[in-house]
Amino acid sequence: MEGMKRPLAVTIVAVLYMAVGVLGFIGHGLPIAKARAIHGDDVLVEATELAAVVAGVFMWKGANWARWLAAAWMGFHVGLSFWETPEKLVAHAVLLVLITYLMFRQDSSAYFRGAGRAES
């Protein structure tokens, strides 16, 4: 198993998590910086964006816990979507199912069992 190639699905999901996290952090952070003040849930919002980056980086590296973090992160967004529009709820639910499927199917599971740690 050592040196197993990272599955394409893991690569894509990891890169998307890193991109969404970085873009979200910047997108939410710019208004905070412009206002020069942190309000309400700003710290929690930025922490969730950093969690996406962490999940993406460590999925890339083959850390098993990172795929669980990615699923939890999307599950959290499904929960938040209950107070949003039905379209957002459906979109996040579909993404949760898709990401969970991709990260827990056989080839991905083999990668996360240790094979991915050799490939950075």
Enumerate the domain spans of the chain.
8-115
Do 4 and 111 form a contact (C-beta atoms < 8 A)?
yes
Residue 120 has pLDDT above 80, yes or no: no
Apex CA 64: angle with CA 117 and CA 80, to 5°? 140
Least confident of 27-41, 50-64, 101-115: 27-41
Is the Cβ–Cβ distance between 115 and 3 less than 8 Å?
yes
The confidence band for 115, taking pLDDT boundaries of 50, 70 and 90, is: low
Q: Does pLDDT of 1 surpass 60?
A: no
Dump pLDDT digits (tens) for 39-87: 777 777 888 999 999 999 999 999 999 999 999 999 999 999 899 999 9
Q: Is the pLDDT of residue 25 over 50?
A: yes
The pTM of the full predicted model, rounded to 2 decimals, is 0.84
Please report the pLDDT score of residue 69 as a whole number.
97
**Quick check: 15 and 56 in contact, CB under 8 A?**
yes
Min mean pLDDT across 1-15, 48-62, 66-80, 97-111 is at 1-15
Separation between Cα atoms, residue 53 and residue 4, nearest integer Å: 23
HSE on the CB side for 45, CA within 13 Å?
A: 15
**pLDDT > 90? residue 2:** no
